């Protein structure tokens, strides 16, 4: 079940919200957990009980770790918890990738390939594994006390708005709201959530999906398209993935508010960044924060004794960030690409940028991000290299832009570019603050309701006509 389905929008969500808000406040966590279990079981029934067993096991391991007075036992239980979580992630996400690469080596050596039954990937495993890890580490580091009731712990991991594709919510930032969020059960708070949800739905359905149809056509030619088509294609993909993922994040944040939760912001106009360093403070913010606090800083972070050690820490973090996105060399290279530019910026480029015009910084950052998206979008490494060759005239793509775009494609692409860069202006910042204002009164929200109602009707109409349209990040 996806957020952009008729089943979710017109059946599951209304009935769930009705049951949730009719329930006594003391029982709402139970209602939210039951709804989340139904949501996950609907989409991935074959992994449901495995997930429950793993989470219940982790809950009791962490409880034993927290109550132990023996430092060695606490550390041993920490290792057990982390090993189980990372081991499950490694098996389901990377076993196929490992076997494929081993068999490629065996083939070159003339050896028999390993016999292997391909492993299916549980939906949302990258996200709920990370949240399970944050629970373990936050309790171990005494950032917050553990949750006493197992259903509260299960709710933290399985809460359906953020279960499949984030935002990645660190335990210490939401633990208090899991226990008590009565202060957020106000009409204006819930209405702000509803309107943010509708904005996210419109981003996904009315912008990302419209552009994505053409992107699929361009990349469907196995990277063999003209220079013009390849540049238009990757610019369009940069807009598609932004509005697709930011749309999902807005929907998740909005749903969270409807339940009384305050989820962290995940995107902040990333294409207006003037460096890759700034880009990662604006793009997938919760992943960047997770990698910083739970990997980069424990490795030594920026306080390492030498510059080479800092650079090593950065490249390790971004190689793993790339691999986290998917079991493919394309994602590894995408992560390394960003890591290398972060190192270059830290070494000298950011100092040089102090005397460089702003528009050059913007162009540099967007160009670097665009090249990275080629590796992210292409199915294979050879396809990515062919596509880059077409972009820079090294190859002569055979497929022109003849049957590809219609006027509607350029129209929606122009809208996407406009909204992606709108915050570069003062008026754009004002407009963004207006639409994402969470301090309106209920009466003010009601004045805005006709506009949001139109967006909702347009989005549902498109969904009804187009059918299944999952989010890009669901495959991670």
Q: How many residues does the chain have?
A: 476
Q: Is the dihedral of CA 83, 88, 92, 93 positive or negative?
A: negative
Tokens of 457: 């009707």
Distance CA 127, CA 167 (A): 8
The DSSP secondary-structure symbol of 425 reads S
Q: Are 244 and 2 in contact (CB under 8 A)?
A: no
Contact 230, 222 (CB under 8 A): no
Chain centroid, CA 146 distance in Å? 26
Note whether 327 and 96 are within 8 A (CB).
yes
Q: Which residues lie closer than 8 Å to 232 by C-beta, 6 or more apart?
A: 218, 401, 405, 413
* Residue 221 designated active-site: no
Question: Dmax over Cα atoms in the chain, in whole Å?
Answer: 73
165: left (phi over 0), alpha (psi -120 to 50) or beta: alpha
Give the distance from CA 315 to its chain's centroid: 20
Q: How far apart are CA 229 and CA 401, in angstroms?
A: 5
Q: In the beta sheet, which residues pair with residue 237?
A: none
Give the integer Cα–Cα distance in Å for 96 and 130: 21
Q: How far apart are CA 418 and CA 203, in angstroms?
A: 13
Which of the residues 21, 221, 284, 325 is marked catalytic? 325
Q: How far apart are the first and last CA of the chain?
A: 16
Contact present, 268 and 285 (Cβ < 8 Å): yes
Burial 184-203 (b: 16+ CB within 10 A, else e): beeebbbbbbbbbbbbbbbb
Burial class (CB in 10 A: 0-12, 13-18, 19+), 90: middle
Rounded Cα–Cα distance for residues 395 and 403 (Å): 21
**Distance between CA atoms of 319 and 329, rounded to whole angstroms?**
10
Q: Which two tokens stand for residue 104?
A: 């490629």
Residue appearing with tokens 């990275």: 372
Cite the active site residues: 325
């Amino acid at each position: 079940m996806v957020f952009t389905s008729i089943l979710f929008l017109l059946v599951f969500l209304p009935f769930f919200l009705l049951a949730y808000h009719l329930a006594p406040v003391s029982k709402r966590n139970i209602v939210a957990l039951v709804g989340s279990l139904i949501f996950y079981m609907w989409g991935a029934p074959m992994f449901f009980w495995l997930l429950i067993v793993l989470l219940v096991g982790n809950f009791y391991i962490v409880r034993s770790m927290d109550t132990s007075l023996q430092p060695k036992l606490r550390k041993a239980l920490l290792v057990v918890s982390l090993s189980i979580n990372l081991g499950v992630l490694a098996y389901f996400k990377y076993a196929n990738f490992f076997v494929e690469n081993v068999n490629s080596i065996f083939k070159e050596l003339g050896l028999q390939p390993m016999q292997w039954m391909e492993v299916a990937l549980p939906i949302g495993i990258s996200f709920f594994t990370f949240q399970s890890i944050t629970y373990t580490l936050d309790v171990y580091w005494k950032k917050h006390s553990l949750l006493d009731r197992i259903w509260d712990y299960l709710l933290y991991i399985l809460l359906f708005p953020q279960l499949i594709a984030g935002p990645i919510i660190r335990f210490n930032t939401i633990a208090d709201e899991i226990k008590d969020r009565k202060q957020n059960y106000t009409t204006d708070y819930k209405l702000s959530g509803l309107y943010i949800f509708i904005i996210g739905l419109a981003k996904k359905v009315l912008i990302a999906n419209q552009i994505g149809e053409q992107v699929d056509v361009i990349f469907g030619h196995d990277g063999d398209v003209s220079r013009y088509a390849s540049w238009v294609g990757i610019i369009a993909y940069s807009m598609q993935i932004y509005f697709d993922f930011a749309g999902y994040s807005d929907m998740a944040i909005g749903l969270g508010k409807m339940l009384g939760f305050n989820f962290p912001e995940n995107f902040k106009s990333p294409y207006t960044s003037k460096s890759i360093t700034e880009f990662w403070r604006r793009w997938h913010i919760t992943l960047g924060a997770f990698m910083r606090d739970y990997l980069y800083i424990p490795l030594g972070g920026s306080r390492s004794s030498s510059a080479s050690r800092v650079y090593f820490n950065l490249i390790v973090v971004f190689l793993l960030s790339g691999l986290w996105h998917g079991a493919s060399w394309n994602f590894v290279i995408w992560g390394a690409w960003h890591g290398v530019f972060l190192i270059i910026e830290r070494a000298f480029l950011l100092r040089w940028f102090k005397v460089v015009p702003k528009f050059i910084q913007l162009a540099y950052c967007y160009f670097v991000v665009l090249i990275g998206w080629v590796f992210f979008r292409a199915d294979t490494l050879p396809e990515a290299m062919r596509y880059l060759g077409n972009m820079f005239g090294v190859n002569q793509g055979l497929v022109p832009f003849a049957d590809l775009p219609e006027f509607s494609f350029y129209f929606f692409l122009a809208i996407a570019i406009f909204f992606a860069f709108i915050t570069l202006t003062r008026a754009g910042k004002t407009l963004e603050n207006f639409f994402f204002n969470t301090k309106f009164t209920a009466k003010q929200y009601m004045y805005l309701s006709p506009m949001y109602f139109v967006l909702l009707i347009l989005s549902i109409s498109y969904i009804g006509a187009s059918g299944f349209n999952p989010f890009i990040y669901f495959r991670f």
